[in-house]
Structure 1
Amino acid sequence: MFTNCGFVQLSKVTSVKPTKEKMNPDAIFTRRDTLYFDDGNIVLAANLANNTGSVIFKVHKSIMAAHSPVFASMFSLPNAGTASEAYDGVPLVRMPDPAEDLQKLLEALYCKPPHTPSIARPVLALSTKYEIAHLRQLIVERLEADWPQTLDKWDVLEGAVAY
C-alpha cells in the first residue's frame, strides 16, 4: 500500500466537514488527499501548529501497527474499535502531535524514504516516540552518511564548501 507522494502534490488539500453526528458539526478539518485512503480504517486528526484548525489523515491500522508497537498496542485495546468519535465511517483518533510532524511521519511510512533535512527532525522524533525502529535507523544512517562524524572530516567538508 505504498503510493508515490510527491512533495509538491502533498500540498493539495480539501476542506471538509465531519459527517458523523458524534463530531462537533461546526468543526472544519483539512484533509490531506494523498494521505487519505478510501480503504483506510482509522482517521488520525492533529492540530496545526498555529491552532488554526485540524488536519485529518485516513490511513490503515494494519500498516501503522506493522511499523509501530505503540500503534499496535493502541489499536489492540478493547475499545479501540468503538472510539467515541468517528469520521467518514471509521474511528477518529485525536493525536497530540503537530499536524505538520504527523504528516511527515505518514509520508515516510507511505511514500519515499525521507531525504531532506526539513522532514528528518519530525520523523526522527515521532519514529522514536512511536518505536518505529527501522524508520528511525534509516534516518540516523542517512544523517550519519550526510554529515561528518569527526572534527577532522568536518574541517575537510568545511574547507571544500568554502572554496
Structure 2
Amino acid sequence: MGTLATLKEVPIFERHPTLYLDDGDVVLQAPISSPGQGEKQKFQLFCIQKALLIAHSVVFANLFADASANLGSRCDSRPLISMPDEVFDLSHLLLYLTDPSQYLLRSSHPDTALELYGAAKLADKYMMNTVRSAMVKRVAMDWPTTRDEWDARQTGIQNLRSKAVLDRPRPGKRPRKLILALRTPEPVSAIMFA
C-alpha cells in the first residue's frame, strides 16, 4: 500500500509543444496545476538556451553564474530549474524572447494584452527591463494616442463591420465576422495591462 501512495505522488511532466527546443541547454519547470486530493501535480517543461535568458536578465545571469558548479536537479541531461510562476505567463514570456514576431507582426489582436500582461510582470520580476518596455510598446501600438488616430481606427473598424454584415459564405475562407474579432483589440485587457 505504501508503494501505491508514492506512485500517486509522482508528478506528471509535460514538454511544452513549441518551447521545448532540441538545442536548449536548460530546462525550466513550472506548475500547470495544484494537485487536488488523489491527483498528481502537473508541470510544464520548457527547454531553452541559457544564453537567451542571460542576455535579457540580470537575475538569470546571476543564477547561472552562482550555480555554474552545481544546479542540482537535471532533466534530459540538462540543468532543471523549478519556476514558481504561472505557466501561462512564463510561456508567453519565453515565446516573446524566442519569437517576438508572434506578437509584433499581428496588429490589433484581441489577445495581445491578455497574453503579455503576466509576461510583462515576469519580465519586471526577472529584471528584463528592455523586454518589458518592448511589451508595453507592443500593447500600446493597438491603441491610438490622438483623436485623429482614434477616428481613423474607428473608420477601419466600421469598414470591417459593414463587410461582416454583408458576409456570405465563402468556400475555404474565414467568415468576415471572425476576421473582425481577430483585428479588434479587447479594451478591458488593455486597461488591466496598463
Instruction: Tell me the TM-score normalised to structure 1 length.
Output: 0.70
Q: Which 4+ stretches in 1 moved above 4 angstroms?
A: 49-52, 152-163
Distance in 1, matches of 2:152 and 2:69, equals 52
1:36 corresponds to which of 6, 17, 20: 20
2:82 corresponds to which of 76, 94, 117: 94
Question: Over residues 99-142 of structure 1, what are the superposed CA-to-partner deviations in whole Å (9 max), with x where a residue is unaligned?
Answer: 11111111000113435122120121111111212221112112
Contact residue 49 and residue 98 of structure 1 kept, 8 A: no
2:114 corresponds to which of 118, 129, 133: 118
Distance in 2, matches of 1:90 and 1:34, equals 18
Question: Over residues 21-75 of structure 1, what are the superposed CA-to-partner deviations in whole Å (9 max), with x where a residue is unaligned?
Answer: xxxx933201013211222111100001555511001111111101111111111
Instruction: State the identity as a percent.
Output: 31
Tell me the equivalent position of 1:61: 50
Letter paired with 2:133: Q
Letter paired with 2:64: F
Tell me the equivalent position of 1:47: 31
Letter paired with 2:120: L
The structure in which a higher percent of residues are helix is 2
Gaps of 5+ in 1: 1-24
Give the Å deviation of 1:84. Answer: 2.3
Letter paired with 1:100: F
Q: Does 1:73 align with 2:69?
A: no
Letter paired with 1:86: R
Tell me the equivalent position of 1:108: 96
Gaps of 5+ in 2: 1-8, 36-40, 105-111, 162-194
